Amino acid sequence: MSYQSVNPYDGAVLKTFVAFTDRELQAAIATASNCFETWRRKSFVERAVVVAGAARLMHARVDELAKLVTLEMGKLIDQARGEVRLSADILDYYARHAARFLATEALVPSSGEAEVQSSPLGVLFGVQPWSFPYYQLARFAAPNLMAGNVVMVKHAGCVPQCATAFEQLWLDAGAPAGAYTNLLISYAQVDRVIDDPRIKGVALTGSVEAGKRVAARAGQNLKKSTMELGGSDAFIVLDDADLEKTVQWAVWAKMNNTGQCCVAAKRFILVDTIAKPFLKQFRAALSALKPGDPMDPATTLGPLSTESALKTLLDQVQRAVAAGATRVMGGQRIDRPGVFMQPTILSNIAPSNPAYREEFFGPVALVFTVRDEEEAVALANDSDFGLGASVFTRDIARGRHLARHIDSGMVFINHPTWTAADLPFGGINNSGYGRELSRDGIQEFVNRKLVRIESIDAPA
């Protein structure tokens, strides 16, 4: 497998990395396994010194780390800085709260005493995507390191500089060798890592197909796993929504990270009385985005991450139109150097159209019109995914009511689906299982051990 930095803005090859040999991989697993035996015995205070130290380094190195994101996968520089800060906040959050989240819990049994203790599992393995090169790592590493586990990560092949920079961050913060390990390995080696008895848990963020392969391998080895497999989030606009503010959020929800986000708004479900004015303003706002150098703060439309990502989207649009969808705008490559695609809107998408079921990971919005909120919920739920959704309405009680009936892991009212350290993140159905972030995230890879104390007197 190739680990190579290619700037999607101009196609320049920035740096190439040599993948691990099998011997190097085995040595790395041995180091991690040995590290676990000492790291697990550290107190929460001792672990927090390292994790909080890494957070401080991220804040101090915002520009340096953000530049790597923009160079490797094309994220607009201001958004890249925001990702670095968010990642640092996640590290800091767990450094401050892990001890409380994993404190021994007293139970009240019918007799005697009982409590639940939380203890680490061991060496954990994560497979992570390129879309948020630090955030994905932070939300896996921070809770698990604070819980006393150690982590090994195979990052995406197109962001190796971000991957190595994040590993160095931990070493600079004082983490022992093996606490956090970046693995430059092939897909065949991924299977061998999962099979290794020293690996006690597996986490993946990626495609549905990748999730099926990795979850199956973990299952064959009876290892706990969590899967975050993307989504096709509904963005529901009711007839009483604040149109101007909703359109502003719609552009952000669709175009943040150039649409390359698991929780990006992908299906815009509009009640018919508001559909025409919404679509007019939405189309105008997307048309105003200006492609350019993502390092320039004035640029509002960045490139996609790779040439292959662009080709996949163009093919999806072509197949959707061939199956009867209407191309409202865009749908083409922008005629300029770099991996740029026009912001795109598709409508008239029938259930038989392949686009109806697919995830569009980029600047493509699917627009649907419905008669009322009941149809909106039914359409939102008619998806193989179930990661997030959002509802825009002036009536919060109405929004809460709809949220109860939407089948997804997260529903936001008057805000696009998004993430924060103190909010649980995860989905259902083909969007995967398990939760990351918040108290829920740190509970995934710990042993919730019952300890029962009874009278020693034997029954008569």
Hey, which residues are catalytic here?
228, 262
Considering only CA atoms, which of 442, 440, 448, 446 is closest in space to residue 140?
A: 442
- Residue 300 CA to residue 323 CA, distance in Å, equals 31
Residue with tokens 């999607």: 8
Sign of CA dihedral 242, 398, 254, 382: negative
Cα–Cα distance between 44 and 118 in angstroms, integer?
A: 12
**DSSP-assigned states of every residue in 41-94:** TS-HHHHHHHHHHHHHHHHHTHHHHHHHHHHHH---HHHHHHHHHHHHHHHHHH
Asked if 415 and 392 touch (Cβ cutoff 8 Å), the reply is no
Q: How far is it, in rounded angstroms, from Cα 102 to Cα 114?
A: 16
**Three-state DSSP state, 188:** helix
Q: What angle do CA 358, 361, 364 make, to 5 degrees?
A: 85
Tell me if 126 sits within 8 A of 153, measured CB to CB. Answer: yes
DSSP letter, residue 356: G
Half-sphere exposure at residue 399, Cβ-oriented, CA atoms within 13 angstroms: 20
Distance CA 428, CA 432 (A): 5
Which has the closest alpha carbon to 406: 232, 277, 276?
Answer: 232
Cβ partners under 8 Å of residue 424, min gap 6: 409, 410, 435, 436, 437, 438, 439, 440, 441
Edge to edge, the sheet with strand 105-107 lists 105-107, 113-120, 446-453
Strand order of the sheet with strand 388-392?
A: 326-329, 344-347, 364-370, 265-271, 233-237, 388-392, 410-413
